[in-house]
Structure formats: C-alpha cells, structure tokens
Amino acid sequence: MKKFISAILLLFFFSCAQLHHVQLGEVTSHPDYVQKPFDIKVNEMGINLGEAKALSKAFLSAEGSKDAENIATFISLFQMGPITGNPVYVKDYAKNLIQIIYEKCPSGMVTGLMSVRETRKYPVISGEIVRVTGYCLIKKGS
C-alpha cells in the first residue's frame, strides 16, 4: 500500500515540459547603450478533462464516476477550436504582458524580445505559461 501511495505521489509531482511556440524579435546592439536583461513569466492553471475523467473512474463509485464523466463531457462541449495546452478558465491571464514589459523597461527601448509559450504538465492539471525575455536598452551614463 505504501509503495502504491509513493508511486501516486511520485506521479503527481512528476512534470513534463511541452513547448508550443517560440517567437523572436529584432535584436539591436550599440556601443552607446547598455543592455539590461529582463524575464517575465505569467501562468494559469489548465485542466485536462480526459485525465480527470479517468481518475474519477478509478477513485469514485460507478455512479459517481458516471456523473463526473457526464460533467466532463458537458464542459468539453464548450471548449472547441484550436488550442495550445489544456483549457484554462481565466482567458485574460496574459493580457497585461505589455504593461509588465513597460514597467520593467520604462524607456520603452526593448530589444531581443523572445516569447515562449509552454506547458508544465502534471496529472490532471497543468501550468499554462507565457514567458517573455528581452533586453532593455539604457543609454550609457544616464
């Protein structure tokens, strides 16, 4: 029994990284400017309904698992179209990225911008991540 619980715990903390999309922007270097790197990460929890259904079958009674399956099927009816990663329930989680970049680089002179869309997968849930790295150009001596 202990072994079984350990295996379940191990599975739960075991995560896989999945890369969906990478985009690079223009890169500018100039001797009069210093490049200050910045790194921004926003994430939201995604839910894998298929895995939730499978888990409910394993742990709930026959009636309970059927109800859970019906609920999962009902929810999935509203989640159509192309997606990256698992569905999230806060659709605007990456909306303030531009604002955060502006806060990190008030001069607005941003270069070497790389945006990465990735997923950290755990059983049933996942971290749906948008990561942006870049450099802020600051004039030397200012």
Partner 1 sequence: MKSSIFCSAVFLFLSSCASINSVSLTPIPSERNKKVRTEKSKIIFLGFNFDNDFVDDAVEDLKKQCPNGQVTGLLTKDENINYFLYFVWKKQITASGFCVSVKDSLNNKTSDAKIATEALLNAKSEQ
Secondary structure element (H or E) that encloses residue 101, with its range: helix 97-104
* Binding interface with partner 1 (CB under 8 A): 15-31, 33, 98-99, 102, 107-112, 114, 116, 118, 133-135, 137
The nearest distance, CB 63 to partner 1, in angstroms, is: 34
The nearest distance, CB 140 to partner 1, in angstroms, is: 13
Comparison of 68 and 124: residue with beta carbon closer to partner 1:
124
Comparison of 32 and 63: residue with beta carbon closer to partner 1:
32
Long-range contacts of 39-42 (CB under 8 A, 24+ apart): 39/131, 39/132, 39/133, 40/97, 40/100, 40/101, 40/104, 40/131, 40/132, 40/133, 41/129, 41/130, 41/131, 41/132, 42/93, 42/94, 42/96, 42/97, 42/100, 42/129, 42/130
The nearest distance, CB 17 to partner 1, in angstroms, is: 5
Comparison of 22 and 83: residue with beta carbon closer to partner 1:
22
Comparison of 2 and 82: residue with beta carbon closer to partner 1:
82
